[in-house]
Amino acid sequence: MHRYAEASPPGWPATAEDSAYTATAKAERLIAEELVRLNWAGEDLIRRPKSGPLNLGLAT
């Protein structure tokens, strides 16, 4: 157990590593949800121009 884990408020990541993992997981979830909304697969994101309006919409 981490030395400062007890000091973290309930529901908060206990360490910076946990926080980075949580942020990455949230970003991946948001992108996956947006791909579903656009009816895209992952390869659609790769094939389209980076500056395309829908790709830019994913980034914001």
Q: Distance of CA 14 to CAs 5, 10, 21, 23, 50, Å?
A: 5, 9, 11, 13, 36
* pLDDT tens for the 60 residues of the chain, in order: 445 445 656 666 667 677 777 888 888 898 899 889 989 888 887 888 888 887 777 776
The beta-carbon contacts of 10-17 under 8 Å, at least 24 apart in sequence, are none
Nearest to 56 by CA among 47, 45, 42, 43: 45
